[in-house]
Structure 1
Amino acid sequence: MEAEEIKIFTDSQLVASQLSGEYQTKDKRLTEYLTLIKERLARFKESEVKHVPIEHNSRADILSKLASTSKRKGGNQSLIQETLSKPSIEKTSE
């Protein structure tokens, strides 16, 4: 069973605006990330990326915890967070 919709909350106005197309992405590495994110979001029937200002971030934290513990038809949901020490997109030699 796969998820059909996704809602993403970010405190980064830049990320939210780049995903919506309001801002351009000029940095090559960020462009690679943006392309990857758009490819992943296209797998869902519906997707939403919402900017949550930093002063309201505690609410976003609560929402993420709620989403990770709530039960839906078909089982539990999970929220996994990982801190990376280096970029996850590496340059490949052509």
Structure 2
Amino acid sequence: MRRKSTLLSAATAALALVLLTPTGASASAEGYFYYTTKNKVQYIKDPHVEECYKRDADGHTENATNKTAYLYDNTQCHGTPIETMHPGDSEQVQFQAVYFLR
């Protein structure tokens, strides 16, 4: 009986770990995504992956997160990105929205 209880406890702990691990839209990139709008530096801290962030950016942009950022010329993150920024990339770019993938 004691072995059954130990196995049940281990299975319950494993299930809890799976349920509490972030996945999908609830997962986040770590770090900051900097962008410029109207000559003012803005940032997104720990952006959620698989979420479209509407931004009207028009200057220096830096991806200081651990995820790849896809920049779009529309606010819905539809179609082909106009720019792909890997972690550590920095560029002068104008974009309307940014989307992060795992």
The TM-score normalised by the length of structure 2 is 0.20
Question: Which has more helix, going by share of residues?
Answer: 1
Whose RCO is larger (CA < 8 A, sep 6+)? 1
Structure with max Cα Rg? 2
The TM-score normalised by the length of structure 1 is 0.21
